[in-house]
Every structure is written in structure tokens, then in C-alpha cells.
């Protein structure tokens, strides 16, 4: 009933409420509230009559007997600040009235029992008949067991109308074992305002009636519940929001937590056009689980938007979406229903039962036969699966892969792409072996020849089970190579600083060649802890000697050093370290010999030549005597430091000077000298 009509028909009561609120509350509290029900409104004591009053007249609310919200008031009722009596709604000043006390005039009309002093516009209680016309649209509906249908109720009073039935109208089913009343609502967004709409659910095949009671009036509509699909409704039902389930497609069985694809097709059998959010941002249409919110455990909550901007009456909309199964085994109703945002759910429910089962299990064990041995090792890999999964099997083997993933794509990216055999066949490549859609269990690979220790891997795939993976080592047990000897050769200190040549011999029991070596050197007091004087690290190569470098690293004089060597064979098996004998560097550098002579250019035979020693000595701490020994190349020699010498004949001679320092370190230097013929002496003779 509109609020304006309520004012006009109950003006005297409102005056009394405004003038004498306290008196009415105190004196008539028991009379007015005696018949009100706690179950319907927490603000009053009971509910059987027509009006429930609270204790303040600051503002009031007019609404129907629907469940109250958390504040004790109905969520869809109007609050109005009291501003006096107004001839129409436009001057009444509608507000939320959220910060003041409220007087609730609760219209509880249900056609039965009455409490005195109830200001209702129609007679109630035991006396009086129906004063108007009550209708239900449509008058008959046929639907399936488990499906939902909507009915619309409209009341036309004797004095004119139509007047829509108040939201608090009561609905019922004559036979709840066939169909039962599930929910009702008053949809104020659909003209005419506040029509009452009820939803019934089919329970078992049969027929019954939907019953509507209002103002001592009763209306009924036929409900025929069938186990088979009802015939399509050729025209809209006359209800603004209504829908018919055309089809639902979903798996009959899924596993716990499985995400699966589903499809629901709904037909618009109402008179309103369904609109998406682009057409109506506030009251747009969609498809949701039903009941909403989904029970727990239950399927994941999904709000499906319309697949097109609008759906006209008699048109269909197909919703395609993904849903996730509950995490608990059982049989669940997979139900879906149309909804208008901020208004109500409506129409039939598309539903089917889905059996939720435990996911199939899959395990795999991988074995190598033989699993170890000397190289080359011919090995066969065998996978043996277990678990509850059924169907054909994909075996994916990698010859050498440590990746722990059970995803074939992930492992192929890390360890190499496998071949692509035809269904029921197997194939091998350099990365591994694959069998596609085979039934063999266990299943073995082709023979694989291993020359190095590796990790074999398999991923097994079967049915809907999570893929299983396993790995196993393939160990090459060849004897390691060895370094029988390590030899140190010191350099010629007359031309080099402190350094050494490290050389070794290589041996392998299986005859595998050397593939790498490592050399370390340090002083004899070292425990081979870094940093070391020399550490080459692993050097790929088959060489068997290493030169430590002339003064690089900075070797020291008068220090005893040691070296060691280890090697790897072609199977990457390494040997033990082999130590060298120790060696010592001299106390200091050897003499740096050099000399010159005069005349330096073009000396001639029979011409005295002076030789001068230019040796650099490092023997400052020596206690012996230095010594010089000259060989002039013509049989002459000298032991003095700076000797003279005369060549008799012309020619080229090699001069060698050997110098010994105080510590007995000797070095020699040889240089060539070219002796020319003497220049003739010219004598001028006068002619006779």
C-alpha cells in the first residue's frame, strides 16, 4: 500500500500518535502489542494483530511483515522524518532517519486475528469478507522436480485500483510434498511498485496449488511438478522478472577442488528486458549459484554477467563459465538462477547433481638396469606406475635431468625437448625417450649408453591424476686415473728469476685419456690452504707440463717450494693429488754478465784491444772470491777482470766471459768480434 493512501485512511490514528505518543505507549502498550510476534520484529513483543508500535514519534516507518535486518528494521522499508500531515508523498520529506528514534507502524495484516486499536485500512480479525480482488499470475505453471517458478500477486480493492499487494502478503502451498514455498519478495523497482512475488520449488511429481492470502481474500494457481522437462512457455508469463531453464551442461562427476567448464542457458519468460551493467549500472542482470551464497562445502561462488548487453522477453542467454568443485567428497546440487542486482533472484533454477569424488592418484618408480658400472655402461630405464588412475599412460624419460618438476613443459625447457611419437608408440632422441598413450606397465626405454655419472628422470601421466615424477642415479664406477710421477725442473737462473717447470705422467686403468689437470705450488710450510703461490684451477686439456712463470707469481729467493698435480679422465673422474719433491731457489740472483771492448768498431789484426767486464753482482753477503775466465776464440784466454788481447789474424771470433760470484753462482756470456786486415800505410815517393 502506498504511504499516501496510508495517511489518508489512517489520519486519525496518526494524529493520536503525534499528540499522545507517551500515553498511547503507556496505557495501550499491552493492548496494541499483545498480538505481535517476536519472530517477525525484534522491537516488539508479539505479532498477531495489525500494528506494532515503538515508543518514539520522532520518525516513523511503514512496511510489511518481512524479516528485520540487523538493526531490527526491514531492509526494504521507508523511513520518513515526521513533518506534519501532507496531502501527498511529494511534500513528506523522505530521509534515512538513521540517527533518531523511530516509531514503527508495522502493517501486519494477514487476514487473521486482530488486536484492538489497530489502524489498518481493511478489516481484519474474524469478521468481514474479502473487500476486493486478489489475483495470481500466471494461473498455472508446469516445472521439473528441483526447479523453481515464480508467481506474482496483485490486489485490487473494491474502491478502485489496481493496488499492489503489500510486501507482507502470505504465500503457501497446499501440498508441500509436491512443491513448497521457498521465498518471496516485494520488488519496488518493477511497475507497479511493491508487487509481491513468490518462488516455489518442485519437490516430487504431482500437482498442488500456490495459495495467496491477503485482506481476507484468497487466490490460488495450479502447480504441476513433472519429472521431465516442461514444455517451453510460448509467451512471457506476465511477471516482470521471470526465467525458464533451457539447458545446463556440466560434468556428471568431478574430483575435489577440480576446476571445470559449465554452461547454463536461460530464457527470459518475463516482461522486462534483461540488461547488463553497460545498460543499467545499478540494477543489471546476471546468473549466480543458487542458493546464494553457496553452502559450505559447495561449489565456488560465481557471479556471471550477461553474455550480451540485453536479453528481450522470449530470448535466450547462454552463460559459459568455470566452476570449482568442493573439497569434500559427496553428491552436490549444481544450481544456477537469474538475479537482478540490488533487486532479487527470480525464475526457475537450472540444476543438476554432480558427484564429487576423490582425485585419482598416480605414483611412479624409476629403475636403471644396471644402475652402475664402468664406462661405457649400457643401461635400460624402467618405469613402474601405481595408484587409482586409469586409462592410457604417457611415459616421458630424460637420460640426464635433475629438475624436480612434474610438468613435462617445464622439464623440457630445462633438460631438452623429447620426441613426438604417434599414439601407442615410443621414440628416442638425444634428450630422452617418450611413449605416448600406451597401456604397458611397467615400461622400459631403449638401451642408453652412459659414459658419465647421470640422473635419469621420468614423468608419468595418466587420466585426470596429477602427473608423477621419479629420478634415479646412473653411476659410472670406472677406476680413477692417477699421476705416477711429478717432476720439477728449475730454470737457468742466469737468464730467469725464481720459477719452475712442473711436469707429470698420466695413467688410467681403462685407457681413458686425460681431459683436464690442476697444478698447485706453495712453500713447504704450507698446508695447501688458500691463498697458494700457484693454483691453476681445473684446466681442460691433455698437456702434462706447466711453467709457473718467470717471477710470476712473485717467487722468493732462498725459499723451499713444493708442488702437486691431479688429473681428470674423459669420464670426468678425477685422480688423487700427487706431490712433487721439494726444490729451493738460490740465495740471490745469479751474476748478470756483460762486457765491452775498445776499440769497439772495426778493430784490426795486430791491434791491442782492451776488454772491460760490466757484470752486475748480487752476492753482497757472499764470503768467497769472485772469478773471471775469458776465452777469446783464437786460443787465447785470461783470468783477469779486464784483460787486453791482440788478434794476429783477421776474422770473426767468439769471446766468452764466465763470471763466478762469491757464492759460487756462475754465468757466462758470449759475443762475436770481427777483426779486420790492417789498413795499409801510404808513403809518398817523389818521381825521379
The CATH number of the domain holding residue 194 is: 2.60.40.1080
Whether 501 and 406 share a structural domain: no
Whether 207 and 248 share a structural domain: no
Residue 83 lies in a domain: yes
pTM for the predicted model, two decimal places = 0.38
Residue 237 lies in a domain: no
Q: What is the pairing mode between strands 377-386 and 363-369?
A: antiparallel
Q: Is the pLDDT of residue 195 over 80?
A: no
pLDDT, tens digit (0-9, with 9 covering 90-100), for 275-290? 999 999 889 999 999 8
Q: What is the pLDDT of residue 228?
A: 57
Q: What is the pairing mode between strands 253-255 and 163-164?
A: unpaired
Residue 121 lies in a domain: no
Beta strand spans in 175-329 (E)? 179-187, 195-202, 206-214, 217-226, 243-249, 253-255, 259-268, 274-275, 285-289, 303-305, 310-311, 316-324
Q: What value does the mean pLDDT take over residues 153-173?
A: 63
Task: Place 507 in a pLDDT band, splitting at 50, 70 and 90.
Answer: very high
Task: Place 154 in a pLDDT band, splitting at 50, 70 and 90.
Answer: confident
Q: What value does the mean pLDDT take over residues 487-492?
A: 91
Number of domains in the chain: 6
Task: Place 166 in a pLDDT band, splitting at 50, 70 and 90.
Answer: low
Closest CA to 670 of 632, 643, 644, 639: 632
Beta strand spans in 330-453 (E)? 330-340, 344-357, 363-369, 372-373, 377-386, 393-398, 426-428, 432-438, 443-444, 448-450
Whether 472 and 491 share a structural domain: no
Task: Place 102 in a pLDDT band, splitting at 50, 70 and 90.
Answer: very low
Task: Place 17 in a pLDDT band, splitting at 50, 70 and 90.
Answer: very low
50 neighbors 120 (Cβ within 8 angstroms) = yes
Q: What is the pLDDT of residue 630?
A: 97
Residue 232 lies in a domain: no
CB atoms within 10 A of CB 665: 21
Q: In what order do the strands lie in the sheet with 545-547?
A: 486-489, 501-504, 545-547
Task: Place 238 in a pLDDT band, splitting at 50, 70 and 90.
Answer: low
How distant, in Å, are the alpha carbons of 497, 500, 512, 596 from that of 590? 9, 16, 44, 20
CB atoms within 10 A of CB 242: 28
- C-alpha cell belonging to residue 210: 500456490
Whether 172 and 94 share a structural domain: no
Whether 303 and 332 share a structural domain: yes
Which of 476, 505, 538 terminates a domain? The answer is: 476
CATH number, position 525 = 2.60.40.10
661 neighbors 621 (Cβ within 8 angstroms) = no
Distance CA 95, CA 110 (A): 28
Q: What value does the mean pLDDT take over residues 226-254?
A: 75
Q: What is the pLDDT of residue 169?
A: 52
pLDDT, tens digit (0-9, with 9 covering 90-100), for 49-70? 333 333 332 333 333 333 333 3
Q: What is the pLDDT of residue 165?
A: 54
Whether 265 and 325 share a structural domain: yes
Q: What value does the mean pLDDT take over residues 584-604?
A: 92
Closest CA to 308 of 358, 267, 269, 274: 274
Task: Flag the least confident range among 107-121, 153-167, 187-201, 527-541.
Answer: 107-121
Whether 15 and 95 share a structural domain: yes
Comparison of pLDDT for 130 and 519, the residue scoring more: 519
Which of 476, 494, 516 terminates a domain? The answer is: 476
Q: Is the pLDDT of residue 489 over 70?
A: yes
Own/partner long-range contacts of 613-620 (Cβ < 8 Å, ≥24 apart): 613/641, 613/642, 613/657, 613/659, 615/591, 615/657, 615/659, 616/591, 616/592, 617/591, 617/661, 617/662, 618/588, 618/589, 618/590, 618/591, 618/592, 618/661, 619/588, 619/591, 619/661, 619/662, 619/663, 619/665
How distant, in Å, are the alpha carbons of 302, 563, 565, 571 from that of 577? 69, 10, 5, 18
pLDDT, tens digit (0-9, with 9 covering 90-100), for 525-559? 878 988 888 999 999 999 999 998 765 567 888 89
Whether 144 and 85 share a structural domain: no
Q: Is the pLDDT of residue 628 over 90?
A: yes
Distance CA 170, CA 107 (A): 13
Q: What is the pLDDT of residue 185?
A: 58
pLDDT, tens digit (0-9, with 9 covering 90-100), for 113-153? 333 332 222 222 333 467 777 788 888 888 887 777 777 77
Burial class from Cβ neighbours inside 10 Å (0-12, 13-18, 19+) for residue 60 reads buried
Q: What is the span of the domain harbouring residue 669?
A: 595-675
pLDDT, tens digit (0-9, with 9 covering 90-100), for 318-366? 999 999 999 999 999 999 999 998 888 999 999 999 999 998 999 999 9
338 neighbors 147 (Cβ within 8 angstroms) = no
Q: What is the pLDDT of residue 101?
A: 31
Cα Rg, the chain, nearest whole Å? 55
| Run of H or E including 608 | strand 608-613
Residue 126 lies in a domain: no
Q: What is the pLDDT of residue 182?
A: 67
Whether 14 and 102 share a structural domain: yes
- C-alpha cell belonging to residue 412: 623440457
Whether 372 and 419 share a structural domain: yes
Residue 117 lies in a domain: no
Q: What is the pLDDT of residue 28?
A: 30
Between the ranges 149-153, 216-220, 504-508, where is the mean pLDDT highest? Answer: 504-508
Instruction: Kindly report the backbone phi and psi dihedral angles of residue 90, in degrees, each rounded to the nearest multiple of 5, phi listed first.
Output: -65, -25
Distance CA 117, CA 53 (A): 11
What is the average pLDDT value for the chain, to the nearest integer? Answer: 77
Residue 119 lies in a domain: no
Task: Flag the least confident range among 239-248, 459-468, 519-528.
Answer: 519-528
Residue 136 lies in a domain: yes
Q: Cell numbers 546440487 label which residue? A: 333
How distant, in Å, are the alpha carbons of 393, 394, 414 from that of 423? 10, 9, 25
Whether 95 and 151 share a structural domain: no
CATH number, position 440 = 2.60.40
Closest CA to 11 of 85, 82, 63: 85
Distance CA 517, CA 544 (A): 8
pLDDT, tens digit (0-9, with 9 covering 90-100), for 404-458? 999 999 999 999 999 999 999 999 999 999 999 999 999 999 999 998 899 999 9
Q: What is the pLDDT of residue 322?
A: 95
Comparison of pLDDT for 682 and 593, the residue scoring more: 593
Whether 349 and 367 share a structural domain: no
- C-alpha cell belonging to residue 581: 719433491
Which of 198, 226, 254 terminates a domain? The answer is: 226
Q: What is the pLDDT of residue 658?
A: 97
Between the ranges 194-203, 223-232, 617-626, where is the mean pLDDT highest? Answer: 617-626
Amino acid at each position: 500500500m502506498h504511504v499516501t493512501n496510508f495517511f489518508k485512511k489512517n489520519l486519525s490514528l496518526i494524529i493520536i500518535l503525534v499528540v499522545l505518543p507517551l500515553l498511547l505507549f503507556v496505557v495501550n502498550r499491552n493492548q496494541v502489542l499483545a498480538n505481535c510476534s517476536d519472530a517477525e520484529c525484534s522491537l516488539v513483543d508479539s505479532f498477531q494483530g495489525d500494528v506494532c508500535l515503538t515508543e518514539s514519534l520522532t520518525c516513523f516507518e511503514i512496511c510489511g511483515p518481512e524479516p528485520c535486518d540487523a538493526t531490527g528494521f526491514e531492509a526494504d522499508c521507508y523511513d520518513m522524518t515526521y513533518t506534519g500531515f501532507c496531502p501527498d508523498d511529494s511534500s513528506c520529506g523522505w530521509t534515512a532517519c538513521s540517527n533518531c528514534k523511530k516509531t514503527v507502524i508495522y502493517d501486519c495484516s494477514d487476514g487473521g486475528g486482530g488486536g484492538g486499536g489497530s489502524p489498518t485500512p481493511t478489516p481484519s480479525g474474524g469478521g468481514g469478507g474479502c473487500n476486493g480482488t486478489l489475483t495470481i499470475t500466471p494461473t498455472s505453471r508446469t516445472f521439473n522436480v528441483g526447479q523453481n517458478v515464480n508467481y506474482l500477486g496483485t490486489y485490487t480493492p473494491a474502491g478502485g485500483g489496481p493496488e499492489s499487494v503489500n510486501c507482507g502478503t502470505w504465500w503457501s502451498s497446499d501440498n508441500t510434498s509436491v512443491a513448497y514455498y521457498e521465498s518471496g519478495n516485494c520488488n519496488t523497482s518493477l511497475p507497479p511498485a511493491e508487487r509481491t512475488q513468490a518462488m516455489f520449488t518442485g519437490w516430487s511429481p504431482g500437482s498442488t496449488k500456490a495459495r495467496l492470502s491477503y485482506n481476507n481474500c484468497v487466490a490460488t494457481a495450479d502447480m504441476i511438478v513433472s519429472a521431465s522437462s516442461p514444455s517451453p512457455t510460448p509467451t512471457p508469463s506476465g511477471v516482470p522478472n521471470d526465467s525458464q531453464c533451457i539447458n545446463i551442461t556440466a560434468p556428471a562427476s568431478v574430483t575435489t577442488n577440480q576446476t571445470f567448464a559449465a554452461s547454463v542457458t536461460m530464457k527470459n519468460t518475463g516482461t522486462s528486458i534483461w540488461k547488463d551493467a553497460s545498460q543499467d549500472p545499478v540494477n543489471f542482470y546476471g546468473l549466480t549459484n543458487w542458493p546464494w551464497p553457496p553452502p559450505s562445502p559447495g561449489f565456488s561462488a560465481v557471479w556471471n554477467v550477461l553474455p550480451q548487453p540485453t536479453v528481450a522477453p522470449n530470448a535466450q542467454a547462454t552463460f559459459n563459465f568455470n566452476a570449482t568443485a568442493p573439497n569434500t567428497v559427496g553428491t552436490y546440487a549444481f544450481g544456477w538462477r537469474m538475479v537482478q542486482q540490488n533487486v532479487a533472484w527470480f525464475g526457475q533454477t537450472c540444476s543438476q547433481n554432480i558427484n564429487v569424488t576423490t582425485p585419482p592418484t598416480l605414483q611412479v618408480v624409476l629403475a636403471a638396469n644396471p644402475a652402475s658400472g664402468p664406462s661405457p655402461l649400457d643401461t635400460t630405464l624402467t618405469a613402474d606406475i601405481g595408484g587409482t588412475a586409469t586409462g592410457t599412460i604417457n611415459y616421458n624419460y630424460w637420460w640426464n635431468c635433475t629438475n624436480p618438476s612434474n610438468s613435462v613443459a617445464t622439464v623440457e625447457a630445462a633438460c631438452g625437448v623429447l620426441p613426438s611419437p604417434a599414439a601407442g608408440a615410443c621414440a628416442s632422441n638425444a634428450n630422452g625417450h617418450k611413449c605416448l598413450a600406451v597401456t604397458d606397465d611397467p615400461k622400459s626405454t631403449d638401451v642408453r649408453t652412459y659414459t658419465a655419472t647421470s640422473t635419469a628422470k621420468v614423468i608419468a601421466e595418466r587420466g585426470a591424476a596429477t602427473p608423477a615424477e621419479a629420478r634415479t642415479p646412473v653411476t659410472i664406477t670406472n677406476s680413477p686415473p692417477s699421476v705416477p710421477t711429478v717432476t720439477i725442473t728449475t730454470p737457468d737462473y742466469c737468464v730467469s728469476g725464481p720459477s719452475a717447470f712442473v711436469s707429470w705422467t698420466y695413467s688410467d686403468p681403462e685407457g681413458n685419456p686425460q681431459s683436464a689437470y690442476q697444478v698447485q705450488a706453495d712453500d713447504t710450510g704450507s698446508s695447501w690452504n688458500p691463498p697458494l703461490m700457484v693454483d691453476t684451477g681445473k684446466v681442460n686439456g691433455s698437456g702434462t707440463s706447466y711453467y709457473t712463470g718467470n717471477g710470476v707469481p712473485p717467487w722468493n729467493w732462498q725459499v723451499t717450494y713444493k708442488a702437486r698435480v691431479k688429473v681428470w679422465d674423459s669420464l670426468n673422474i678425477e685422480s688423487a693429488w700427487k706431490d712433487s719433491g721439494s726444490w729451493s731457489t738460490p740465495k740471490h740472483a745469479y751474476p748478470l754478465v756483460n762486457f765491452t771492448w775498445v776499440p769497439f768498431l772495426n778493430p784490426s789484426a795486430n791491434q791491442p784491444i782492451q776488454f772491460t767486464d760490466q757484470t752486475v753482482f748480487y752476492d753482497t753477503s757472499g764470503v768467497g772470491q769472485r772469478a773471471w775466465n775469458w776465452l777469446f776464440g783464437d786460443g787465447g784466454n785470461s783470468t783477469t777482470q779486464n784483460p787486453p788481447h791482440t788478434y794476429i789474424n783477421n776474422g770473426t771470433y767468439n769471446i766468452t766471459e764466465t763470471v763466478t760470484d762469491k757464492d759460487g753462482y756462475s754465468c757466462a756470456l758470449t759475443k762475436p768480434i770481427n777483426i779486420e786486415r790492417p789498413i795499409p800505410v801510404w808513403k809518398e815517393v817523389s818521381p825521379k
